Structure 1
Amino acid sequence: MAQIFMNLSNYISRNISTQTKDRFSKPIVYISIISVALGVSVLILVFAITSGFRKEIENKVIGFGSHIEISFFDDNASYQKTPIEKNAAFLTQIKKLDNVKKIQAYALKAGIIKTSDEIEGIVLKGLDTHYDVSFFQTHLVRGKVLHLTDTSTSNEAIISESLANKLHLDTGSRMLVYFVQDPPRQRMFRVCGIYKSELSSFDQTYALCDLKHIQKLNDWNEHQIDGFEILLHDFSQLEKTNTLINQIIPFHLISQTIVTRNQDLFNWIGLFDQNIIVLLVLIIIVISISVISTQLTLMLEQIPTIGILKTLGCTNQHIRNIFLHISSRILIKGLIIGNAIGLILCLIQKHFHLIKLNPDNYYMSHVPIDIVWYHPVLINILIITISLFMLSFPTYFVGRKINITDSIRLE
């Protein structure tokens, strides 16, 4: 019997939905479908854009300095650090950690580039033959990456496009760098490559060179460096891995995550997450109100039908099911259209970069898109669950507040 009434509810709800095409509720139904579609498509776009921003900025900052850095623990805020040993014994233990992908050495040295008509401060980052330069390879606009060997010192250097433009340098240009120390020193480099990461604070600061130059300038031996950069497999395990590393290294060293070293940047990204939650709540409320308004309109329009159904023996629950089915169809149509629009717009932006940004303000030249498969699923589940829950309240009173005799007379 329950199955019969369920089939009857579906049949009646389909017929009522068909009848709305010739009634005043028709535009209201269309408006409701459009509002659901717009809400879903906006949420899909916002989630994809926020995820894209986070991923792009994380990748760029990691490219400059890895997930975790180990350096000497002191209050010295300059680039002149106390050196540590390149072949430290604790590295063996760190390499055994499951989340550790690669460990690479580096050294930093502040200097001043002087050309015939320009002067600019920079930080030279010294790399060895084992350093992963894939990030800079990806972001090269001209030239090539450093060619380093263990047997000789390379005079090649890579600078950013912003520095190259300021100093009127190009690949093949000579670059004289002065170092303020006692005694003052200078080095002549040849620009072999020019990169552009669009992280202005980094692009305007860093140039790459052979680690041996930094060691010689600091009067270090070949085994002394500023610190270690540690690349990880899983970013979500960043803090846990950093805690384990701090337990392994000696007390005079410190391990810091990329988030700690770039707190302002990651706080800025964190604001996106807060805005998403607010937007998600607001859009779900708007969608629910829109569908509820349409449902109430349909119920008022179908008061005579409700009276007839009650005289035929339909219970309040059966009538509730009829209008829940109608509202569910409106909701599902809107979801299907909204998902299609949102995903299509995401794919268009991802491949064609139609919407541009100012790199000086947003650290990238176009709106980034990263479609995470469970984001649309989560959005749809939340909208369906909350909307159907809210839709159940108006239908709860439909059979109780309508007088059978009066409703039939309205016909």
Structure 2
Amino acid sequence: MKRGLTAAVCVAAMTAGIAGCGADGGGEEAAAREITVWLTVDAQKNWPELVKQADEAFAARHKGVKVKHEYFEWTAKNQKLDAVLATDEVPDVVEMGNSETLGYLAKGAFAEIDPSHFENSEQWLDALRESVTWNGKLYGVPYYAGARTATWRTDIAEEVGVDEPPADWKELTAALDKIQKKKGDKFSAWYQPTRDWYTGMAFVKDAGGDIAELEGGKWTAGLSSPESVKGLKNWKAVIDKYMHGDKNKDDADRYIVYGQGGSAMIYANSWEGATAADPKFDKTGGKLAENLESFALPGTKGGLMPNFIGGSDLVIPAKSDARDMAADWIKGFTDTKAQRGLIEKGNLPNAKSLLAPLADDPETAAAARANENTWFVPMAPGWLQVEKKQVLQNMLNDIAVGKKSVEAAAKDADAQINAVINGG
């Protein structure tokens, strides 16, 4: 069995008419002596050196202009953003998940950018570029992309006689069954937070279902379809058999929980396994670093589990009075040097030209392969409301803890989705 973590891969993107980056800022700089950059805690915890690198490059071009950073958990960021967008005190750069942008674009919240000012823009990943495109114009810059891969402990797999990653769902569940039996019911053969909707919906897609479909110009929820219900039941079977942690948790601290040593496998963002092995989080006495292996998760019907094309974009609020300087900071934070730094952290880059070599590298092949079968959220006007209301998270949690049957939970979720997905 291959030793060492097979690094995973991530995916995301968006546009606006900002002036040339790298200029001195002119009158803008005279008025603004500070720009504010909002990023999620992923950057703060996992690649702070890349933020510092961008700050230093920016400082060299804009003497005396400070960069103020604020970091947010994903669940809290948009509530704060909604509040400040109603005022004139807006940040100058904001990280957005690629599934979050559509509602803001429709409302004109972000400034248009000129892609020619950003390195590799002609090679940006289609899914990321699309997430920041509105009416043919660009309102954001792809930051990084992500794939989700399975990562398990080879030492635990070898304890039950498994020395190769599973080739299909049958091999995977056979191995997990052996691990679960050997380790007992206080151990999670597969630690899977129930509120992780990206995984729950991957099972739905795997079974031929969908969150919602567009018919006749109208979006209609589809979680209660026979195919979607089958996928949700497949997901619940995993939770019931292998997940023996807190069934009310989300996935925000999954890598921390994994580092504590109470589970054999996670299905997560590609960087999470490597982060769990960091000495700050590894509570196994150093066993993780030498005993992690990543692989593309098999699907239940053959082939690969559909992989959510996730990722982040960087946008500039239209109300910012430092849009040129904001664009210049983004330019330094998304150039080839920065993208290579993100690759080293287990992320997928924002450009096809940087992504291609990863499939041939044993350390990144799992993440690259995971993206051979992908899915994305409905690009519907009200999708952001579905996310804000945590409809999918709550449905999955209700199913996992037995509060509702799969059928009842799916029917209730469909009603909530239909109420908002078309922009209502």
| TM-score, length basis structure 1 | 0.26
Relative contact order, CA 8 A, sep 6+: which one is greater?
2
| TM-score, length basis structure 2 | 0.25
Q: Which structure would you say has the larger Rg?
A: 1
Name whichever structure is richer in helix by fraction.
1
